[in-house]
Amino acid sequence: MNIKIGTAPDSWGVWFPENEKQTNWERCMDEMAEAGYAGIELGPWGYLPNQYEKLKEELEKRNLELTATTLVGDLTSDSRTEELITLLDEMSELQLRFESAKYVVLIDDCYTDLFSGEMVRPQFLNDNEWNKFINNITKICDHARTNYGLEVVFHPHAQSHVETEEQIERLLNDTDINLCLDTGHHAYADGDPVAFMQKHYKRIPYLHLKSCDLKVREKMQREGWSFAKAVSEDVMCEPELGVVDMKAFMKVLEDINFNGWAIVEQDMYPAPFEKPFPIAKRTREYLKTLCMS
């Protein structure tokens, strides 16, 4: 087993390329390195430096590797899919220069407005809508593979069209795309990430680690909070604190001899500037107790 532990700007409350509520990128990268992580995701395009020489310099002086880029958008929309492919083309020019960055994490937009909680697209897709959705995912995946040799991994996400285990398994059945399994989002949708990893590990080369506080989720559902409001109330929490049995999850990783990146990616927006670093350090130390060195 060879688990490499990284983190992501999301764990510092970064959701946008620029936002006054977000930690600046220099502090973010400094704290990632000081907390003991080996790799980082690029996060929203334009947040971290996206010129090769500058990013290379900033990574090397902190002894960090780049692991992945991210695409987020409405995958039920043909026009939005084309926009994501254009962004993929732009990002690939940078990504291909880093041998460690083999993955593109693909996420479907939420069907609710992040901040108001209002429905902005149907929660469930009919068969025709699902087929269009699958075709758009396949188009992005094939484009990345054929043109750049990059692997797109699909990230099931709370309040998106692939969030429940049933929906994830339908995606796996209808495509050849592999997954970025996010333990926190999986638990949020009442899934069991331990059993799911054990069942589908051959389709899961890349991990996001965090947990979910189901008491916060229940309050969210009872009071009609938006997802962003729930995140601000720590619905996604440290691996040690939530519902996910991380010791059992680690045992599965040992049993399958997992070899790859596990990215600590704890949704936090907005995050007071002093909040992320202590959490990042605690999480890194906790993962060491699970033999995730």
pLDDT of residue 293: 63
Kindly give the confidence (pLDDT) of every residue in the chain, 293 residues in length, as a single tens digit, with 9 standing for 90 and above: 899 999 999 999 999 999 999 999 999 999 999 999 999 999 999 999 999 999 999 999 999 999 999 999 999 999 999 999 999 999 999 999 999 999 999 999 999 999 999 999 999 999 999 999 999 999 999 999 999 999 999 999 999 999 999 999 999 999 999 999 999 999 999 999 999 999 999 999 999 999 999 999 999 999 999 999 999 999 999 999 999 999 999 999 999 999 999 999 999 999 999 999 999 999 999 999 998 76
- Give the DSSP letter string of 195-234: HHHHHHGGG--EEEE-EE-HHHHHHHHHHT--HHHHHHTT
Domain ranges across the chain:
2-289
The domain over range 2-289 is classified in CATH as 3.20.20.150 = yes
Helix (H, G, I), strand (E, B) or coil at 182: strand
Containing 35, the helix (H) or strand (E) segment is: none
Burial class (CB in 10 A: 0-12, 13-18, 19+), 279: buried
pLDDT of residue 96: 98
**Chain-centre distance of CA 70, in angstroms?**
8
What's the whole-model pTM score? 0.98
